[in-house]
A and B are shown apart, each in its own frame.
Chain A
Amino acid sequence: MSNAVEVHSVSKSFGAVKALDDISFEVRAGELFGLVGPDGAGKTTLFRILTTLLVADSGSASVLGLDPVKDLWAIRSRVGYMPGSFALYPDLSVSENLEFFAAVFGTTIEKGYELIEPIYKQLEPFRARRAEALSGGMKQKLALSCALVHRPELLLLDEPTTGVDAVSRREFWDQLGRLKSSGLTIVVSTPYMDEALRCDRVALIHGGRILEVDLPQSIGARYSLPLIAVKGSNRFALLQTLREFPSARSVYLFGDELHYSDKRVNADAGEIAAEVKTFLAQHGHADAETAPITAGIEDSFMELMGSAPAPKAEAA
Chain B
Amino acid sequence: MRTVDTKEIEECVYKMARRAGLTLTDSCRAALKNAKERETGAAEFALSALLENEKTAQREQMPVCQDTGMAVVLLSLGQNVQLTGAPLKEAVDEGVRRAYADGNFRKSICDPLTRVNTGDNTPAHLHVEIVEGDKIELTFLPKGFGSENMSRLFMLTPAEGREGIVNAIVETVKRAGSRPCPPVYVGVGIGGCFDSCALLAKKALTREVGSRHPRKDVASIEEEALQRINELDIGPQGFGGKTTAIGVSCELAPTHIAGLPVAVNIQCHCVRCEKEVF
Q: Is B truly associated with A?
A: no
A contact residues vs B (CB 8 Å cutoff): none
B contact residues vs A (CB 8 Å cutoff): none
